[in-house]
Amino acid sequence: MPGAPRPRPRPNALNAPPPLLRLRAGWVHPVTAPSIPDGAVLVGADGRIAAVGPHTRVPRPRGTEALEFPNAVLVPGLVNCHTHLELTHLVGQNTEAQFAPWIRRVRELKDATPPAEFVRAAEQGIRDCWASGVTCVAETGSTGAVLEALARLGGRGIVYQEVFGPDPANCEQSLAELAAALARLRRLTSPRVRLGVSPHAPYTVSAPLYRAVAGYSRREGLPIAVHVAESKDETMLVRDGTGPFAEALRTRGIAVQGHGCSPVAYLLQLGVLALGTPCLCVHCVQVSDGDVALIRSVAAAVAHCPLSNRAHGHGTAPLPALRAAGIPVGLGTDSVVSVGALDLWAEAEAAGIRGEEALRMLTIEGARALGWEREIGSLEVGKAADMAVLSDGPRVRPSGALLTVVAGRIVHPMHKP
How large is the C-alpha radius of gyration of the chain? 21
How many whole angstroms separate alpha carbon 38 and alpha carbon 54?
A: 6
Active-site position among 230, 365, 373, 375: 230
DSSP string, 139-191: EEESS-HHHHHHHHHT--EEEEEEE-B-SGGGHHHHHHHHHHHHHHHHTT--S
- 65 noted as active-site residue: no
Which residues contact residue 155 at a Cβ distance below 8 angstroms, ignoring those fewer than 6 apart? 126, 130, 135, 137, 149, 192, 193, 406, 411
| Rounded distance between C-alpha atoms, residue 400 and residue 388, angstroms | 9
Give the β-pairing of 65-76 and 387-390.
Answer: antiparallel
The DSSP H or E segment spanning 332 is none
Q: Which amino acid is at 138?
A: A
Rounded to 10 degrees, the C-alpha dihedral 151/152/157/163 comes to -70
| Residues 42, 48: Cα–Cα separation, whole Å | 9
Q: Which residues of 241-256 are buried (b: 16+ CB within 10 A; e: fewer)?
A: bebbbbebbeeeeeeb
Question: For the chain, how are helix, strand and coil distributed in percent, rounded to 5?
Answer: 35, 25, 40
Q: Which residues are catalytic?
A: 230
